[in-house]
Structure 1
Amino acid sequence: MLTYLLRRVGIGLLMLVALTVLVFILLRLAPGDPVTAYINPSVPMSPEAIEALRVRLGLDQPLPLQYFAWLSAAVTGDFGYSIQRGGAAVLPLVFDRIGPTLLLMAAGLTIAIIVGVATGIISAVRRNSATDVGLSVVASLGISSPAFLTALLGLYFFAVQLRIAPSGGMLTPGAPFSIGDLLAHLILPASLLAIGHAALIMRYMRSSLLEVLNQDYVRTARAKGVKEFWVIVKHATRNALLPVITLIGSTIGVAIGGAIFLESVFNWPGMGLLLVNAVNARDYPVIMCATLVIGACVILVNLLTDITYAAVDPRIQVS
């Protein structure tokens, strides 16, 4: 296990380096001059002053040298300073936004797992019934609905028309902090984030459980007189969960993408909103640091998923 973990960590570090190289190149290939992000448009600057700024920022160097200069500083924890936020240090700024994003993702994925697994079991147990058909249709709609469309429609109907949920933010401005206020702001974006993932988990759970229910050991348990409830819960569901666990781990990256849209629509003060604002403002230090942190979270979750898979199924040997 230790050898496996060390090897996965090494591969993860190489993947992070490759990710930063890709993002760095894409930022430099984007239209416009990076120097313009540092210039106040209301203050005229001479070409000589602009060139001096370019030299001071190291933007006159070849791209490989620029990247290695950034990387050498990043490994020491120095990710530079935000252009958009008055020279604030980037790393504390990004870390301040991790908590709200993790809260939103954890709530959304928790709802998705509970709803997806439960409806998948119901759909498999009542195969070809009206309930199964209805749940399958709903799941197909959930899978095919883009995150931004779901977010906008949910905001319009539940916050604007029905007024049963706040229209944005994480807390009510000016109000004292309370768990109830936080949950009131969290429930709508978390539920919208869960829709697509719950639908996908439901489909996987249904398919996996149907396959398990046809196995010999399940028929043997029924022949011994075990009640159907315990056959489903104790004998079938645990084995059916194995591919679902892998799916849940792989959807973390997709959940991050959906969270970016949701945070923008609901003005949720997380990593997604920070990243979108940084892209709009060409705030390169924040973009690089936020991308690195998000990539590290995805790699860590995938590693934990593999370990969980091995723990659930003793037949799996990590190597």
Structure 2
Amino acid sequence: MLRYSLRRVVIGMGMLLALSALIFLLLRLAPGDPIDAYIDPNIPMSSSDLADLRSRLGLDQPLPVQYLAWLQQALAGNLGYSIKRLDQPVLNLVLSRIGPTVLLMGTALVIAIVAGIAIGVISAVRRNSLADISFSVFALAGISSPAFLSALIGLYIFSVRLNWTPSGGMLTPGEEFSILDLLRHLILPAALLAIAQAALIMRYMRASMLEVLNQDYVRTARAKGVVEFWVITKHALRNALLPVVTLIGSTIGLAIGGAIFIESVFNWPGMGLLLVDAVETRDYPVIMGATLVIGTCVIIVNLLTDIAYAVIDPRIKVG
């Protein structure tokens, strides 16, 4: 297991390197001149001043030289400074936004796992029933609905029309911090973010559970008179969870993509909102730093998922 984990860490570092190089290249290939993000359009600058600024920023160097210079600083823990917040190191800015995003995504993931597994099991046990058909329609709608559409519809219904939840932010401005106030702001964006994940987990759980319920050892347990609850939970559920565990790890990327839209719509002060603001203002250092941190989180989660897969099924050997 240790050798396997170390090999996966090395592979993950290579993937991070490739990701950073790709994002760096795409940013440089984007329309416009990177120097425009550093200057005030209301202040005229001569061509010599622009050339001097370009030289000081290293933008007059070839792209490989620019990337290697950035990589050298990044490996030393220096991701540079935000263009729009000159007194803010990118690393501090990114780290300050991780907490709210982890809270939002963690809550959404818990909701998705619990709801998806429970609904999937019920649908499999009550195959072709009204409940199964209803849950299948829900899953199809959840998978098909883009995150930004779900966010806008949910915001309109629950915040604007019904006034059940706040319309945005993480806390109520001007009020003292309280867990209840945080939960009121958290529940709607987390639930909306969980919809697509719960739908996917439900579909995989249902299919996996149906396959397991037809196995000989399940029929044998029933023939021995084992209570149906224990047949489902002890004998069938654990084996049916194996493909779902892998799916849960892969949905982290889906959750990150959805979180960007959810945080933008609900003005949630996390990584997604930071990344959107950085793209709009062409804040290249923040885009690179945020992308690097997000990529690192995804790779760590995938590694933990693989390890969990081996723990759940002792027959799985890693090497």
TM-score, structure 1 normalization: 0.99
Separation in structure 1 between the aligned mates of residue 229 and residue 314 of structure 2, nearest angstrom: 24
1:5 equivalent in structure 2:
5
Identity %: 72
1:127 equivalent in structure 2:
127
Alpha-carbon offset, residue 138 of structure 1: 1.1
Alpha-carbon offset, residue 163 of structure 1: 0.6
Is 1:60 aligned with 2:56?
A: no
2:175 equivalent in structure 1:
175
Which blocks of at least 5 consecutive residues in structure 1 are unaligned? none
2:32 equivalent in structure 1:
32
Deviations 1:121-159, CA, capped at 9 Å, x for gaps: 110000011111111111111111111100110011111
Q: Name the amino acid aligned to 1:29.
A: L
Is 1:222 aligned with 2:222?
A: yes
SS at match of 1:66: helix
Separation in structure 2 between the aligned mates of residue 157 and residue 166 of structure 1, nearest angstrom: 12
2:187 equivalent in structure 1:
187
Separation in structure 1 between the aligned mates of residue 63 and residue 260 of structure 2, nearest angstrom: 29
Which blocks of at least 5 consecutive residues in structure 2 are unaligned? none
1:96 equivalent in structure 2:
96
Deviations 1:89-115, CA, capped at 9 Å, x for gaps: 110110000000000000001001111
Q: Name the amino acid aligned to 2:245.
A: I
Separation in structure 1 between the aligned mates of residue 51 and residue 174 of structure 2, nearest angstrom: 45
1:302 equivalent in structure 2:
302
1:235 equivalent in structure 2:
235
SS at match of 1:252: helix
Deviations 1:222-272, CA, capped at 9 Å, x for gaps: 011001111001100010011000000000011000000000000000000
Separation in structure 1 between the aligned mates of residue 72 and residue 36 of structure 2, nearest angstrom: 24
2:315 equivalent in structure 1:
315
1:264 equivalent in structure 2:
264
Separation in structure 1 between the aligned mates of residue 74 and residue 167 of structure 2, nearest angstrom: 37
Alpha-carbon offset, residue 87 of structure 1: 3.3
Deviations 1:22-53, CA, capped at 9 Å, x for gaps: 00000000011101101012221111101100
SS at match of 1:81: coil
Separation in structure 1 between the aligned mates of residue 164 and residue 41 of structure 2, nearest angstrom: 43
* Length, aligned pairs only: 319
Aligned Cα root-mean-square deviation (Å) = 0.6
Separation in structure 2 between the aligned mates of residue 168 and residue 139 of structure 1, nearest angstrom: 26
Q: Name the amino acid aligned to 1:193.
A: L
Separation in structure 2 between the aligned mates of residue 277 and residue 86 of structure 1, nearest angstrom: 15
Structure 1 residue runs of 4 or more that deviate by more than 3 Å after TM superposition: none
2:283 equivalent in structure 1:
283
Separation in structure 2 between the aligned mates of residue 101 and residue 110 of structure 1, nearest angstrom: 14
Q: Name the amino acid aligned to 1:47.
A: S
Is 1:79 aligned with 2:79?
A: yes
Is 1:42 aligned with 2:42?
A: yes
SS at match of 1:232: helix
SS at match of 1:273: helix
Separation in structure 1 between the aligned mates of residue 88 and residue 36 of structure 2, nearest angstrom: 18
2:107 equivalent in structure 1:
107
Alpha-carbon offset, residue 174 of structure 1: 1.1
Separation in structure 2 between the aligned mates of residue 10 and residue 73 of structure 1, nearest angstrom: 20
Separation in structure 2 between the aligned mates of residue 302 and residue 240 of structure 1, nearest angstrom: 20
Alpha-carbon offset, residue 12 of structure 1: 0.2
Q: Name the amino acid aligned to 1:229.
A: F
Q: Name the amino acid aligned to 1:139.
A: A
Is 1:205 aligned with 2:215?
A: no
Is 1:138 aligned with 2:138?
A: yes
Separation in structure 2 between the aligned mates of residue 189 and residue 159 of structure 1, nearest angstrom: 11
SS at match of 1:172: coil
Separation in structure 2 between the aligned mates of residue 6 and residue 122 of structure 1, nearest angstrom: 39
Alpha-carbon offset, residue 85 of structure 1: 1.4
Separation in structure 1 between the aligned mates of residue 287 and residue 190 of structure 2, nearest angstrom: 24
Separation in structure 1 between the aligned mates of residue 120 and residue 241 of structure 2, nearest angstrom: 11
